[in-house]
Amino acid sequence: MILEILSYLLRFIAIMLLQLLVINNIELSSYINPYIYISFILLLPITIKPWQLVLISFLCGGVMDAFSSTPGLHIAATNFMGFIRIHYLKATTTKEDMEGRIVPSLSQKGVVWFVFYCFVMTFIHHLILFFLEIYGFQEFFSTITRVLLSSVVTVLLIVIGQLLFYRSKIKNG
Amino acid sequence: MRNLIFFISKYYVFFLFFTLEVFAFVIVYRFNNYQKASFVNYTTGVTSSFYTTVNNTNQYFNLRRVNDSLQMENARLHSQLITSYYQNNFSPKQINDTMYKQQYEYIPATVVNNSVTKRNNYITLNRGKDHGVEAEMGVISETGIVGIVMSVSDHYCTVLSLLNNNCKISAKIKKNGAFGSLRWEGDDPKYAKLLDVNKHVPIATNDEIITSNFSTIFPEGIPIGRIFSHSLDAGDNFHTIKVELYTDFGTVSSVYIIRNLMKGEQTNLESTLIETKK
């Protein structure tokens, strides 16, 4: 149990460093700002307690806010996404998934399910984040383009990450 | 009562989520409505030292470019030195100068953290309260303006970059002095828009845009950029002006924080004006 927590903590630090040091410095366009740190929350085990998930997403957003000097934007977006995840997984997973303590990942749930799951979650997260960032609807269409493009790139990066790090498991399964 | 407890314990996750979400929205609301960046104040101390470490490493990769720009600036400053002027004054008397009183001080600083592709960009600098930096001081680079200091910790400050939704800068066209306000539209970090320039003002591409003398933050005449393109829509009272910014926000690294020594005097005077109006 302690080992599991420790490994998740390490993963959290690694993913935050990746986001802050690498992804944030890739300047593709002002319409593409991927936030891959949310994949930490997306890839928590299905059996995690709902209150733990809500708290973890809150902390995740808090750390991100602190390092990008934004006031509460990431907390609002990530917290909301964490809450939606609880209900999304309740609706789309089976009893066997719950008993098998599986992780909602590419290798265990299949490509189509995973990509759709990622896209829905990322879209919700980016929607809240970008609209709170501009704080209003005065640039509605450019903001929605920003949300869509960034979501697509984020999902793409998460899927690539999955293929890189969990390849062996796919072969076995 | 028992029902209430039962209700709360059944939906405790929702209540937890709801409380945290409200907390987040309160911070966002406070930030956007009071322009008091109190939230950021707590965090700059810790997170900035993290970024300083990262930046120290990154700086090695930029040394050549920084050298070039410093050399350019040196050359420009050398040409302004008193020794590079021809002494054209034959007056035998030494005049003690009381006509000029220093109004602006420049504090050199280095960019520790920066972004250009977000909708709201912030810059962190390695100067803070200990060096005399306060909120709402202007920040410029060798080439042009950069932003406005937002919040200050002991050794660091965060700057509202010009590339930010909340950053509006009072500017004017150098040629004819027409005023407008400069705002970034959120797409390309090279360009911004100059708003509120009346349609009867004649403008042309390549006209220089400089800071106006209306603000207490920037001295008058700091270069901002030049007019890249302009158009006038039918029925519109204002020009649509696209400004190419002089400052390259992607590579900006050494900047100056401007301290207005007479700011207190001016704002005090203006605030009494508002009170008497009431």
Q: To the nearest whole percent, how much of chain B has pLDDT over 70? A: 85
Residues A50-62 have a mean pLDDT of: 91
In A, minimum Cα distance to B21 occurs at A76
Which of 94-123 (B) contact A at CB < 8 A?
Answer: 115-120, 122
The residue ranges of every structural domain in chain A are 2-23+35-167
Render pLDDT for B6-33 as a digit per residue (tens, 0 to 9).
Answer: 887 888 888 888 889 998 888 888 777 6
Amino acid found at A149: L
Task: Supply the pLDDT for residue B244.
Answer: 92
User: Taking Cα atoms as reference points, which of B135, B125, B44 lies closest to residue A68?
Assistant: B44
Separation of alpha carbons A168 and B137, rounded Å? 55
Separation of alpha carbons B184 and B192, rounded Å? 4
Confirm if A89 and A113 have CB atoms less than 8 A apart: no
- B32 and A79 in contact by Cβ < 8 A? no
A134 to chain B: which residues are within 8 Å by CB? 119-120, 165, 186
Tell me the domains of chain B and their CATH numbers: 169-254 (2.40.10.350)
- B31 and A76 in contact by Cβ < 8 A? no
User: Taking Cα atoms as reference points, which of B114, B110, B160 lies closest to residue B135?
Assistant: B160
Of A24, A54, A132, the CB nearest to B28: A132
Q: How far is B50 from chain A (nearest CA, A)?
A: 9
Render pLDDT for B58-67 as a digit per residue (tens, 0 to 9).
Answer: 777 778 777 7
Render pLDDT for A121-160 as a digit per residue (tens, 0 to 9).
Answer: 999 999 999 988 888 787 788 889 989 999 999 999 999 9
Phi, psi of B173 (to 5 degrees): -85, 125
Angle between helices B38-80 and B12-34 (to 10 degrees): 30
For residue A12, give both structure tokens.
């959290």
B93, pLDDT greater than 80? no
Cα torsion angle, A157, A162, A167, A172, sign: negative
B124 to chain A: which residues are within 8 Å by CB? 69
C-alpha pair distances (Å), B187 with each of A20, A158, B162, B191 = 21, 25, 13, 8
Would an 8 Å CB–CB cutoff place B41 in contact with chain A?
no
Confirm if B250 and B111 have CB atoms less than 8 A apart: no
Go through B160-194 and write b for each residue having 16 or more CB atoms within 10 A of its CB, e for each that does not.
bbbbbbebebbbbbeeeebbbbbbbbbebbbebeb
A50 to chain B: which residues are within 8 Å by CB? 13
B250 to chain A: which residues are within 8 Å by CB? 27
Would an 8 Å CB–CB cutoff place B46 in contact with chain A?
yes
β-bridge pairing B254-260 and B179-183: unpaired
Separation of alpha carbons B48 and A69, rounded Å? 10
Confirm if A84 and B21 have CB atoms less than 8 A apart: no
Task: Supply the pLDDT for residue B11.
Answer: 83
Would an 8 Å CB–CB cutoff place A161 in contact with chain B?
no
CB pairs under 8 A between A and B: 108
Go through A26-35 and write b for each residue having 16 or more CB atoms within 10 A of its CB, e for each that does not.
eeeebbbbbb
Task: Supply the pLDDT for residue B97.
Answer: 61
Number of H helices, E strands in chain A: 9, 0
In A, minimum Cα distance to B186 occurs at A30
Q: To the nearest whole percent, how much of chain B has pLDDT over 90? A: 6
**Residue that is written with structure tokens 């789309």 in the block:** A92
